[in-house]
Amino acid sequence: MERCLFSVTSKQHGWQLADQESVDEWYLDKFSAIRAADCMALVRYEQTGHPTGIKVQMATGEWVLMGLHG
């Protein structure tokens, strides 16, 4: 089963939290965005049973996978 990923990306003056479906939120700092993404990922996993996770874009442009549920 494919994992549903929430992404956290630096955008202009903040951090964007998005998923593959409907979430598109903005945060002032990276840690707030990651914390919110982890909560959303956990709730989505508990509601659907589908594996979830968070991918965070680093300053180098690379992506790091974290906050895996399921």
Per-chain mean pLDDT for the chain: 92
More confident position, 35 or 23:
35
Quote the CA–CA distance of 7 and 26 in Å, as a whole number.
12
Number of domains in the chain: 1
Identify the CA nearest to 9 among candidates 30, 23, 28. Answer: 30
- Predicted pLDDT of residue 12: 84
pLDDT confidence bin for 34, thresholds 50/70/90: very high
Q: Which domain does 63 fall in, by range?
A: 4-69
Over the stretch 40-64, which tens digit does the pLDDT of each residue have?
999 999 999 999 999 999 989 999 9
